Amino acid sequence: MSHVAAPLEVIATRFSSLAGKDAPDEQTLIALAAVDPAAATAWLLERDPADLPARPRLARFLSAVAESISRSPGAVDAPELLQIVRRFGHLLSPQHATEFAGAARTAPVDPALEEALHAALERAPEHPALLRAAAELSVASGQQGRAHELLTRLGRADSGLATMQYVYGARQRLLRTSSTPVRVAIVSSFTIDTLVPYVDLECRALNLEPHIYVAPFNSWEREMLGEGSGLQRFEPHIVFLAAAADDLIPRLASPDASLTTAGEAAVDRLLAAAERFTSWSSALLVVHGFQSVFRDTLGPASSRIGPSRSEVMNALNTRLAEGLRSLPRAYFLDLADLVARRRQGAADNPKLRHMASMRLSEHVLRDLGTAHAQYIAPLMGRTRKCVVLDLDNTLWGGIVGEDGPHGIRLGDTSPGSEFREFQQFLISLLRKGILLAVNSKNNEADALEVIRSHSAMLLREESFSAMRINWDSKPSNMLSLAAELNIGLDSFVFVDDNEKERALMRQAHPQVLTPEMPKDPARYRETLEMLPELQVLTITDEDRSRTQQYVERRQREQLRLTAQTPEGYLASLEIAAAIETASPRTLPRVHQLFQRTNQFNLTGIRYEPGVLAARSTDNAWRIYTAQVSDRFGDHGLVATAVVRAERDEWKIENFVMSCRVIGYGIEDALLARVAGDARDADARWLAGEIVTLPKNAPARDFFARNAFTPDAGDHERRNWRRDLGENGLMIPRWISVRADNGA
């Protein structure tokens, strides 16, 4: 205890004053806390509250006690510590609340301890030690939901290996959540178990329940073959193949000029494994690109003698990426790019490489976890449909109501260029089919003047599918945006520089994804760029024109308001539908439609791309699609049905239709076509099922209004069927149908 300045005897004589009425001086108290935390605690608890030191001094004394306890655990008994926490918890700093929580752990957990920790967390929401202590308590007391939430926050606050492993380990002691399960496999040539906690965290943050399979050490080639391998038995949704270039091409470590031949052989091994895999699995396959920890041994001379090592590696990566592109459902993950762009720390830890066959440092693991989530999120339907933006200090610098339309910061120089860069990114979202909308507290005229006529604005009125520029609360604007765009709150991302607005939104609408934004607008772009919820796996024609479709919708709405009758309105729209069976060209959109549709969705069944591909060529199945246009424009492929064609009965396994065309009668036209095909194939019955899902009210009367007969069933799910010998189903009069590739 070298830091205790006063000799013990001096302190001892001073302690005599502790018994008296006068408050002892601060130095004495702190010394007491250091040498005898038990005595200090006892003094605190016995003292009449009126005679305690004033608040700042009391807080410093508590800090000294906490530090003393952390040095000599067990010096103070848990009941006394709990009393301290009950009475003085609100005065504890985050670090010291953590110390007390560690020392005063009891079974069952004392609520006062939890309250003190939560009060401290309010003040320091991202304090790792505090989060860990609170998480430990929640795990111990079996509060499942709270524990998961705290563990996710802890993993976000401290992404070091030790914390991430704790977070992952603690989750294994909790019950499974009711979230959608996702089965993720990681197949590797090196020790990659350390990646698991990072992938697990990302899945949890996406509200998925992850099941993660790590193939045995360096068994990737055998696993990918199938033939009853662990990977095959696991039945993954998605597989990450991480074979390190340094394992596949050992000569990367030595001064060897002839890398190309060995490298190409390695690429071909990977491609052969990938091809084999796609032949037996319908899962998504993501293959890590090549990246070596070894520099070119020739240094500066390498680029003169050439090709240099980086040139060779680039060429190998191109070969790998091109090969994967020709396979179904196979993706190339550019590991070299990911390592170069890592957010912090060294990419390689030589010690770990030698000691534990680990090829990726913890700094790379965090970013790799995020990169993996960028495939998992869109695969599992977690892509958000619309980014809702604040204006002042989000899309431009300054406040238009105060600075005027010409006083805001937006342009080629800083301050202002940061916002332009952010807008450039937002435009890229439009190309991916993600909508933009505005939710801003402003005078509409001021804001519109900037949007319409500021020379540096990149986003214009036609970039936004809907705008709310008013003085209403942002959560209530969000509800009206959801109603106008006809999408759920869980389809939104809300971007606002204002911390209070973000907090209000999170509280009012937790379904809206409200990311924490950095204070510095120069960092806005990277904050959103990495979000797994803004990634897509393919870009369909529908994605490219989605914003245009919402503009056309506004025009239709105007026509509807002037029409005499609903049917007159529908007839005036000049609706045309092309009903076909799915082809390789339309399958990506069919998959996307099943993933995205929540309202007109009969059973909620979603399909993996491989399943759809297999069924599209299987005689026992029919996948129907409807592409729709009207006088205002093209809706694209908006309805699809998967039908099992048996001899007597055709059964609709699932049928979805985009909410954009609800009310047009497209579903009836498509059903009439299915019924016609079934009858032509001499089937007697057309059947289907309706499952009650949270949002599928528009679909629930589908069979009833088409004169199907229900079986007993129940409210949750019911089977329906219709005798095809009865009068045929009719295509609505206002739709003209083209059948292009009929069955």
Partner 1 sequence: MAPEAVVARVLGLSRQAVTDGTSNTTESAWDSLNHVTLVLELESAYGVSLSAEDALAMTDVASIKRVLRDYGVEWDGA
Asked if residue 352 binds partner 1 (CB under 8 A), the reply is yes
Closer to partner 1 by Cβ: residue 151 or 674 = 151
Going from the C-alpha of 297 to that of each of 251, 257, 301, 306, 676, the distances in angstroms are 11, 9, 9, 12, 70
The secondary element (H helix, E strand) that includes residue 15 is helix 8-15
d(CA 154, CA 368): 18
Asked if residue 93 binds partner 1 (CB under 8 A), the reply is no
In the range 168-187, which residues lie near partner 1 by CB under 8 A? 169-170
Q: Which long-range contacts (CB under 8 A, 24 or more apart) does 341-346 make?
A: 341/367, 342/367, 343/367
Among 356, 503, 697, 707, binds partner 1 (CB under 8 A): 356
From the CB of 242, what's the least distance to partner 1, in Å?
Answer: 17
From the CB of 252, what's the least distance to partner 1, in Å?
Answer: 22
Number of Cβ within a 10 Å radius of residue 81: 26
In the range 458-517, which residues lie near partner 1 by CB under 8 A? none
Closer to partner 1 by Cβ: residue 67 or 221 = 67
From the CB of 161, what's the least distance to partner 1, in Å?
Answer: 5
Residue 510 carries which DSSP code? T
From the CB of 603, what's the least distance to partner 1, in Å?
Answer: 42
In the range 191-230, which residues lie near partner 1 by CB under 8 A? 193-194
Interface segment toward partner 1; rule CB under 8 A; list 70-78, 377-385, 432-440, 498-506 = 70-78
Asked if residue 70 binds partner 1 (CB under 8 A), the reply is yes
Closer to partner 1 by Cβ: residue 355 or 503 = 355
Among 358, 573, 577, 642, binds partner 1 (CB under 8 A): 358
Furthest-apart CA atoms within the chain: distance in Å: 106
Q: Please return the burial class of 304, using the count of CB atoms within 10 Å of its CB with bins 0-12, 13-18 and 19+.
A: exposed
Asked if residue 555 binds partner 1 (CB under 8 A), the reply is no
Asked if residue 346 binds partner 1 (CB under 8 A), the reply is no
From the CB of 406, what's the least distance to partner 1, in Å?
Answer: 51
From the CB of 166, what's the least distance to partner 1, in Å?
Answer: 5
From the CB of 105, what's the least distance to partner 1, in Å?
Answer: 6
Contacts of 144 (CB under 8 A, 6+ apart): 174, 175, 177
Going from the C-alpha of 242 to that of each of 183, 190, 200, 267, 334, the distances in angstroms are 17, 8, 17, 13, 11
Asked if residue 354 binds partner 1 (CB under 8 A), the reply is yes
Contact call for residues 689 and 717 (beta carbons, < 8 A) = yes
Asked if residue 102 binds partner 1 (CB under 8 A), the reply is yes
Nearest Cα residue to 579 out of 688, 732, 381: 732
Site string (362-381) toward partner 1, x via CB under 8 A: x-------------------
The secondary element (H helix, E strand) that includes residue 465 is strand 464-470
Closer to partner 1 by Cβ: residue 73 or 79 = 73
Strand segments, DSSP code E, in 590-670 are 600-601, 621-630, 633-645, 649-657
Q: What is the full DSSP assignment across 549-595?
A: HHHHHHHHHHHHHH-SSHHHHHHHTTEEEEEEE--TTTHHHHHHHHH
Site string (145-164) toward partner 1, x via CB under 8 A: ---------------xxx--
From the CB of 165, what's the least distance to partner 1, in Å?
Answer: 6
Q: The tokens of 215 are what? A: 């193939």
Residues engaged in binding partner 1 (CB under 8 A): 70-74, 102-103, 105, 160-162, 165-166, 169-170, 193-194, 351-352, 354-356, 358, 362
